[in-house]
A and B are shown apart, each in its own frame.
Chain A
Amino acid sequence: MQIIGEKINGTRKRVAQAIAERDTDFIQNLAFEQAEAGSTWLDVNAGTRPDREPDDLVWLVKSVQAVVDTPLCLDSANPRALEVAIRTVKQTPMVNSISGEPDRLAGILPLVAEHGCPVIALAMDEKKIPESSAKRLDVVCKVMAATRAAGVPDAHVYIDPLAMTIATNTGSALITLDTLRAVHQAFPDVHLTMGLSNISFGLPGRSYINRGFVTLAMQAGLDSAILDPLDREMQAAILVAELLLGRDRHCLNYVRAARQGILG
């Protein structure tokens, strides 16, 4: 299970402030903590106005690279920002993200192909987020046709089937789980990823919902996720799911984690 650490995100007020003030210590601390907690990738999102985003994203990349070796996941819809950031990274980054939207594909896919970047692809297009798993699969097929045409290996693609909140539609999780299974079957070599907190938006006890969801999603084929690596209970839920899905030889990871007190 690949963990993409989500905390360095400029749409969060405190991080936005750190970016504006060029507070290197704050950002580097977030990077260090997430790396120590076992992140496979560190997502960096400059979240600011389009004119400032390239400079802010480059500053984030430099700050983070100075203190950790974890590869980065460049989180931006702005091709200009991605371009300058890719030139600054020390190792091949993941790109977050493309989708079925033609502008986004045209702007970002060439960069991804040129630099051999893994890329997250959202199962939505210019007509917004499809309300059925069949329609989401249609969008994924469109995106895969584009990535294949651009020479991007299937194994570099991380499909995000999208999760709408269950608060406004009690079928939301089922749609996402069906989409995970369908995509996995149609494209066995692609990875599957998700941001795990959207599912619980608007309800109390969000962490219970998120943990239950990651468990079900891993059974449906999820093999990576964008989340808070410092969330112990989430970490425990993932360890348990790996254990129960037969992926933890001699239950070793689970037992080690228990001994280290990670399970609380």
Chain B
Amino acid sequence: MSKELIQAITEMREGDALKITEELLDAGGDPLAILDACREAMDVIGGRFERGKVFIPELILAGEVLTQISAIIKPRMAQEATAKKRGKIVMGTVEGDIHDIAKDIVVFMLDINGFDVTDLGVDVSPAKFVKAAQETGATVVGLSGFLTLAYDPMKATVEALKAAGLDDVKVMIGGGQVDEQIREYTGADAYGRDAMAAVTLANKWIGG
């Protein structure tokens, strides 16, 4: 049955996905298995998106379906059985840049893969990144920037994190034209070309 659920989600059949979820729960199905199916579906959708087969509005629709499924499941999950978050990540678009669509997709993919993501939004100063990392205890910080003038704020943020003593925090950058040269310039630990790369990096650094 969970295979049917995965298919309903990946084929953007909202009504079917919700109906199957209800049926699974009524038949005594494990809520965590349903969440796993959701994550598997999102992996498929994410892969198709990166290959240009699925488009942004469909990603948003899938997100809405998942939110509705979560709402159906939550009341039926025992306290102890609540899915544990695998690690903490702070995400944001750097100072001076307000592009957010790609960042939002990364936040979404990290969230569905079990990470506890704090999204600081756009035009985020280095100080704000540092504060969030300190307050949440995040071990990964993701910097997004589309404009070429984002590179200096990225560099400043990496330096601010180090200056605050947060040497163990890993930094990944993404967006626009980032490459190895930019990564080196900014001092970030890694760069990603797409949302799936962000997930891969988070998995590598946080594990579990």
Take A128-B98, A128-B122, A168-B60 as given contacts and tell me if A47 and B55 are in contact as well, using a CB distance cutoff of 8 Å: no
The reply on B200 being an interface residue by CB < 8 A is no
Kindly provide the distance from the CB of A160 to the nearest chain B CB, expressed in whole angstroms: 15
The reply on B68 being an interface residue by CB < 8 A is no
CB nearest to B57 among chain A residues: A167
Kindly provide the distance from the CB of A77 to the nearest chain B CB, expressed in whole angstroms: 8
| A202 B98 Cβ-Cβ under 8 A | no
Contact of B57 among A13, A16, A49, A202 (CB under 8 A): A202
Kindly provide the distance from the CB of B22 to the nearest chain A CB, expressed in whole angstroms: 28
Interface string of B141-185 (1 = CB under 8 A from A): 000000111011000000000000000000000001100000000
The reply on A264 being an interface residue by CB < 8 A is no
| A203 B149 Cβ-Cβ under 8 A | no
CB nearest to B49 among chain A residues: A202
Measured in the bound complex, the distance between the Cα atoms of B54 and A203 in whole Å is 9
Tell me the count of chain B residues lying within 8 A, CB to CB, of chain A.
15
Interface string of A167-211 (1 = CB under 8 A from B): 110000000000000000000000000000000011110000000
The reply on A165 being an interface residue by CB < 8 A is yes
Interface string of A201-223 (1 = CB under 8 A from B): 11110000000000000000000
Residues of B near A202 (CB, < 8 A) are 55-57, 101
Kindly provide the distance from the CB of A26 to the nearest chain B CB, expressed in whole angstroms: 18
| B55 A49 Cβ-Cβ under 8 A | no
Residues of A near B149 (CB, < 8 A) are 49-50
The reply on A24 being an interface residue by CB < 8 A is no
| B177 A13 Cβ-Cβ under 8 A | yes
| B152 A129 Cβ-Cβ under 8 A | no
How many A-B residue pairs have C-beta atoms within 8 angstroms? Tell me: 41
Measured in the bound complex, the distance between the Cα atoms of B122 and A128 in whole Å is 10
| A201 B101 Cβ-Cβ under 8 A | yes
Kindly provide the distance from the CB of A198 to the nearest chain B CB, expressed in whole angstroms: 11
Residues of A near B176 (CB, < 8 A) are 11
Residues of A near B57 (CB, < 8 A) are 167-168, 202-203
Residues of B near A203 (CB, < 8 A) are 55-57
Kindly provide the distance from the CB of B151 to the nearest chain A CB, expressed in whole angstroms: 7
Kindly provide the distance from the CB of B67 to the nearest chain A CB, expressed in whole angstroms: 16
Interface string of B36-72 (1 = CB under 8 A from A): 0000000000000000000111001000000000000
The reply on A63 being an interface residue by CB < 8 A is no
Kindly provide the distance from the CB of A4 to the nearest chain B CB, expressed in whole angstroms: 20
| B148 A10 Cβ-Cβ under 8 A | yes
Q: Which of B80-124 contact A (CB under 8 A)?
A: 98, 101, 122-123
Kindly provide the distance from the CB of A121 to the nearest chain B CB, expressed in whole angstroms: 17
Q: Which of B6-61 contact A (CB under 8 A)?
A: 55-57, 60
Measured in the bound complex, the distance between the Cα atoms of B101 and A167 in whole Å is 10
Interface string of A39-50 (1 = CB under 8 A from B): 000000001111
Kindly provide the distance from the CB of A1 to the nearest chain B CB, expressed in whole angstroms: 28
Residues of B near A49 (CB, < 8 A) are 148-149, 151-152
| B177 A167 Cβ-Cβ under 8 A | no
User: Which of B55, B147, B149, B177 has the largest number of chain A CB atoms within 10 A?
Assistant: B149
CB nearest to A13 among chain B residues: B177
- Residue contacts A-B, CB under 8 angstroms, 12 given: A16-B148, A47-B148, A49-B149, A49-B152, A50-B152, A128-B123, A129-B98, A165-B56, A165-B101, A168-B56, A168-B57, A202-B101
Interface residues of B (CB under 8 A from A): 55-57, 60, 98, 101, 122-123, 147-149, 151-152, 176-177
Among all A-B residue pairs, the 8 with the closest Cβ atoms: A202-B56, A167-B56, A167-B57, A47-B148, A203-B55, A128-B98, A202-B55, A11-B148
